[in-house]
């Protein structure tokens, strides 16, 4: 059998695909180290130094929760056309999912599930232009989108979709007698954000003040 004829006609070996460059952002060095150590072991990933992080194809933001500082970082990354952003987070409070989506986050992974395989899957999905959300968060997002669509069809209709979860929570705290500073402390938002959210409610629903907004929400079963 002329087997040697087959062995001498080997096809060109395909080039190994370039590794995905990844920048890791975390205020807590322990959180950052944990993710870096997991990804450093994978040949598909090229971790970039902090000084070059803005040049990475994929940016991973690793946090406990989303506050104003984290949102500002996410928004900054959203304006960097070189990178796509993923969020590794311990908890997402009321309204946080919408907030991170608005900040351009392409994928979300809970820290409790962030083992090496899941982190790599997240990175590769982001690099390939895909979006990733845990199943329960995807369900919440679809519900929220449906609420927005119903509100658009009947913008003056009173329903649970008239207020976002964050707005309802803040109005409920106002009804309990909390002031701006106390609400900011409980929600981990800045006082400016609290004022803006409450002002948005009053303006959108054409009300006079916070007391009027609380009364309106209570009468219509929104809080």
pLDDT in the model for residue 137: 65
Residue whose entry in the numeric block shows the structure tokens 């009947």:
154
Give dist(CA 69, CA 51) in Å, integer: 20
pLDDT of residue 83: 94
Return the SS3 of 85.
strand
Which two structure tokens, joined as six digits, stand for 184? 């900011």
Report the alpha-carbon distance of residue 36 to residue 73 in Å, rounded: 19
Percent share of the chain, pLDDT over 90: 39
Report the alpha-carbon distance of residue 38 to residue 114 in Å, rounded: 9
Neighbours of 220 (CB within 10 A): 14
C-beta neighbour count of 92 within 10 angstroms: 19
- Compute the distance between CA of residue 108 and CA of residue 100 in angstroms, rounded to an integer: 9
DSSP state of 25: E
Over residues 125-146, mean pLDDT: 68
CA distance 111 to 140: 19
pLDDT at 200 over 60: yes
Q: For 67-81, 100-114, 180-194, which range has the lowest pLDDT when averaged over its residues?
A: 100-114
Residue 147 pLDDT > 80 = no
Number of residues that this document lists for the chain: 223
pLDDT, residue 220, reads: 79
Tokens of 196: 């803006």
Give 110's strand partners: 89
Residue 86's DSSP bridge partners are 60, 107
Q: Which residues of 44-62 are buried (b: 16+ CB within 10 A; e: fewer)?
A: ebebbeeeebeebbbbbbb
Q: What tokens does 145 get?
A: 């989108």
pLDDT of res. 141:
55
State the pTM of this model.
0.57
Position 160 scores a pLDDT of: 38
Res 64 pLDDT > 90: yes
Mean pLDDT for 52-71 is: 92
Residue 54 has pLDDT above 60, yes or no: yes
Beta strand extents in the chain (DSSP E only): 20-25, 45-47, 58-63, 84-89, 105-110
SS3 23: strand
Helix/strand/coil (H/E/C) assignment for every residue in 104-155: CEEEEEEHHHCCHHHHHHHHHHHHCCCCECCHHHHHHHHHHHHHHHHHHHCC
pLDDT value at position 140? 58
CA-based radius of gyration for the chain: 23
Is residue 66 over pLDDT 60? yes
């Amino acid at each position: 059998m002329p087997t040697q004829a087959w062995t001498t006609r080997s096809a060109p070996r395909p080039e190994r695909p370039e590794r995905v460059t990844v920048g890791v952002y975390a205020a807590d060095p322990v959180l950052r180290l944990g993710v870096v150590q997991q990804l450093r072991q994978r040949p598909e990933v090229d971790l970039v130094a902090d000084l070059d992080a803005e040049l990475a194809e994929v940016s991973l933001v690793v946090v406990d929760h989303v506050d104003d500082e984290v949102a500002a970082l996410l928004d900054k990354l959203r304006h960097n056309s070189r990178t796509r952003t993923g969020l590794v987070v311990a908890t997402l409070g009321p309204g946080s999912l919408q907030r991170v989506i608005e900040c351009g986050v392409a994928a979300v992974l809970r820290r409790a599930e962030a083992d090496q395989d899941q982190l790599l899957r997240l990175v590769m999905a982001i690099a390939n232009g895909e979006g990733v959300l845990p199943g329960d968060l995807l369900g919440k997002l679809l519900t929220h989108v449906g609420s927005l669509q119903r509100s658009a069809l009947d913008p003056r209709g009173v329903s649970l979709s008239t207020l976002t979860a964050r707005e309802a929570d803040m109005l409920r705290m106002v009804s309990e007698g909390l002031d701006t500073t106390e609400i900011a402390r409980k929600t981990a938002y800045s006082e400016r954000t609290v004022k803006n959210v409450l002002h948005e409610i009053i303006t959108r629903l054409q009300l006079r003040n916070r007391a009027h907004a609380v009364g309106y929400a209570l009468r219509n079963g929104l809080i």
